[in-house]
Amino acid sequence: MPKAPYARILLWTILALFAAAILWAIIDRARSGSWRLPRRGRNSVEPTPDAGWATEAGSSRAWLQEADLLAAEGDYAEAIHHLLRRSVEDIAKRRPRLIAPALTSRDIAANRAIPPGARSIFAGIALAVERSLFGGRAVGIKEWTACRTAYADLSNRATWAA
């Protein structure tokens, strides 16, 4: 250790800042969902593998029906946008700490906390919405069918198993 008093203060300040930076990095990773700690305590009941998927399948079908109605009216762009909004809600249910109000669909599609299959499916739907809403391109039945199939795949349990 240095003998000069200012050098000691400087050394301890640098060590404290280094420790604070490491602590901040750990907390940030845990909060973003990259690292998850097991939850223990009163509510430590393990859900069965199929818990919640039956009700989600029903709500997914309802959303698909609403989107189908929009598509039947010829408003394919709004139908795809409807599916994108529902996809964001689905991701928020499956990864609760992942979705923040300021995130764009590009940010969500790039997040590594989402399994690769689900991430690529979501990115496809987001790209179609981006082209129609921000690019001003007309959306046809072909794009609608592709996005509808993609949403059905996104709500499939196997997509999230990875």
Quick check: 87 and 120 in contact, CB under 8 A? Answer: no
158 pLDDT above the threshold of 60: yes
Mean pLDDT over all residues of the chain? 78
- Mapped to the 3 state alphabet, what secondary structure does the chain carry? CCCCHHHHHHHHHHHHHHHHHHHHHHHHHHHHCCCCCCCCCCCCCCCCCCCCHHHHHHHHHHHHHHHHHHHHCCCHHHHHHHHHHHHHHHHHHHCCCCCCCCCCHHHHHHCCCCCHHHHHHHHHHHHHHHHHHHCCCCCCHHHHHHHHHHHHHHCCHHHHCC
53 pLDDT above the threshold of 60: no
Confidence at 17, pLDDT banded by 50, 70, 90: very high
pLDDT score, position 51: 43
- More confident of the two residues 53 and 94: 94
Highest mean pLDDT of the ranges 14-18, 42-46, 95-99, 145-149: 14-18
pTM above 0.85, yes or no: no
The pLDDT tens digits of the residues spanning 59-90 come to: 667 777 888 888 888 888 888 888 888 888 88
pLDDT score, position 2: 60
Highest mean pLDDT of the ranges 38-42, 50-54, 126-130, 153-157: 126-130
pLDDT (average), residues 93-105? 81
